[in-house]
Amino acid sequence: MPRFGDRRRGRIGLLGGSFNPAHAGHRLIAGEFRRALRLDQVWLLVSPGNPLKPRAGMAPFAERLASARAIADGRRIFATEIEAQLGTRFTRDTVRALQRRFPRVRFVWLMGADLLEEWPRWRGWRAIARLLPFAVHPRPQYNGRARASQAARTLRAALRPPRVAPALALARPPAWVFLQAPQNPASASALRGARHVTKNGERPFHAPLPPAAPPAAPLASRPAKPRPSPKPPSPPPANSPEANSPGANSHPANPHPPSRRRAARPARAAPTSISTG
């Protein structure tokens, strides 16, 4: 981190959080943000300690940072401990410190729809909206409440349509967009509940989940069930005409008897003429 500021230009998205642990949903959101907003990089700001989250169940900072680095590529998406280096605890102070050290960088704050709903609980959340533009990524089960939240109502005049997202980094704050992007239901709490237990105890929070069961074979590839063979026709009774007919013992009876034909009616005689003379 430069001491007196970095003069390089760029568009940087700031995706902060506890990352307890980081998972595929974070990677998906970071990639979608970078492409939709035309960002040069996305920084995963691993928080040393979130004031709004309890310490119980929080993994050590080193483990959470390692899980964030595991999903980053080190080129376009970075996991950084810069917030711990700055010594800041609140997002407002972190943003101000970054803007002082990188005066030519256009920063954009990134968040999910679930965080927009609880944003008024953050210290100085209105000041954050005046410091830099921000973008919201949709999340299942949160989108409706996020759009109707206090923060969305307060900043309704600053809402921009999704089509202007590529130029959001250049917009003068307050300005924000609600993106239209694929949604991932994965959450850190669900992954913590599904972590493995080994003989030596629990694995770290970033341990991989067990592989999913293989999908069922498609119907076209399943073997067809054999059809039962038709039953042979039963022989005719001993006293029936068919049994006494020639060749009855050498050929089975026809299961489909021929249709009865109507007997030919005798032709009517032509009417005789009546003589009148």
| Residue in the block written with tokens 């960002």 | 39
What token pair was written down for 136? 């919201």
Give the whole-angstrom CA distance, residue 77 versus residue 75.
Answer: 6
End-to-end CA gap in the chain:
142
Give the whole-angstrom CA distance, residue 114 versus residue 247.
Answer: 87
HSE at residue 25, side-chain half, CA atoms within 13 A, is 20
pTM greater than 0.85: no
Task: List the domain boundaries for the chain.
Answer: 10-195
- State residue 63's pLDDT score: 96
Q: Are 129 and 68 in contact (CB under 8 A)?
A: no
**Beta carbons within 8 Å of 61's beta carbon, 6+ residues apart:** 46, 48, 49, 81, 84
DSSP string across the chain = --SS-----EEEEEEEE--TT--HHHHHHHHHHHHHTT-SEEEEEE-S--TTS-STTPPPHHHHHHHHHHH--SSSEEEE-HHHHHT--SHHHHHHHHHHH-TTEEEEEEEEHHHHHHGGGSTTHHHHHHHS-EEEE--TTTHHHHHTSHHHHHTGGGEE-GGGGGGGGGSPSS-EEE---------HHHHHHT--EETTEEPPTTPPPPPPPPPPPPGGGSPPPPPPPPPPPPPPPTTSHHHHSTTTTTSPPPSSPPPPPPPPPPPPPPPPPPP--
- State residue 235's pLDDT score: 60
Distances (CA, A) of 29 to 17, 18, 44, 70, 266: 13, 15, 11, 15, 93
**Beta carbons within 8 Å of 171's beta carbon, 6+ residues apart:** 133, 160, 164
- State residue 29's pLDDT score: 93
Cis amide leading into 51 (omega within 30): no
**Beta carbons within 8 Å of 133's beta carbon, 6+ residues apart:** 108, 109, 168, 169, 171, 173, 174, 175, 176
Q: Which CATH architecture has domain 10-195?
A: 3-Layer(aba) Sandwich (3.40)
Total residues belonging to the chain: 277
Q: Are 188 and 23 in contact (CB under 8 A)?
A: yes
Full pLDDT tens readout for the chain, 277 residues? 566 678 889 999 999 999 999 999 899 999 999 999 999 999 999 998 877 677 778 999 999 999 999 999 999 999 999 999 999 989 999 999 999 999 999 999 999 999 999 999 999 999 999 999 999 999 988 999 999 999 999 999 999 999 999 999 999 999 999 998 765 555 444 444 444 333 333 333 333 333 333 333 333 444 455 565 655 556 655 555 554 554 444 444 454 554 455 555 555 544 444 433 3
Amino acid residing at 222: R
- State residue 140's pLDDT score: 84
**Beta carbons within 8 Å of 128's beta carbon, 6+ residues apart:** 91, 92, 95, 109, 122, 134
- State residue 250's pLDDT score: 45
